[in-house]
Amino acid sequence: MNKSRKIPMRKCIATGEMMPKKSLVRIVRSKEGEVSVDVTGKKSGRGAYLTKSKEAILLAKKKNILASHLDVQVDEDIYNELLDLIEKEK
């Protein structure tokens, strides 16, 4: 008896697409208000998911989507870190 495993799905806050969790990158705001990129997907805190594409990250930056979703000011370094992460994966 083969049981197919359920694939966890998450919604990209920039594009609005539902995608498998592994194809997205998670950004977390800790209780102290620090924002960081969560590559493991297991850090505690308020999380938001973005598609691993340059277009989605630039859209989130342009429309300030991350800041409004995480209720905190998002530093320019976070967007640069996300773009670097995507470049390394290609």
Q: Where are the domains of the chain?
A: 11-89
pLDDT of residue 41: 87
- Within its chain, how far is the Cα of 21 from the centroid? 10
Reported confidence tier of residue 4, pLDDT bands at 50, 70, 90: confident
* Rounded CA separation 76/18 (Å): 26
Q: What is the DSSP string of 44-56?
A: SSEEEEEESSHHH
What is residue 60's predicted lDDT score, i.e. its pLDDT?
95
Query: What is the topology classification, in CATH, of domain 11-89?
Result: Hypothetical Cytosolic Protein; Chain: A; (3.30.1230)
Query: Tens digit of pLDDT for each residue in 51-68?
Result: 999 999 999 999 999 999
| pTM higher than the cut 0.75 | yes
- Tens digits of per-residue pLDDT, 19-45? 999 999 999 999 999 999 998 989 999
Buried b (16+ CB within 10 A) or exposed e, 3-40: eeeeeeebebbbeeeebeeeebbbbbbeeeeebebbee
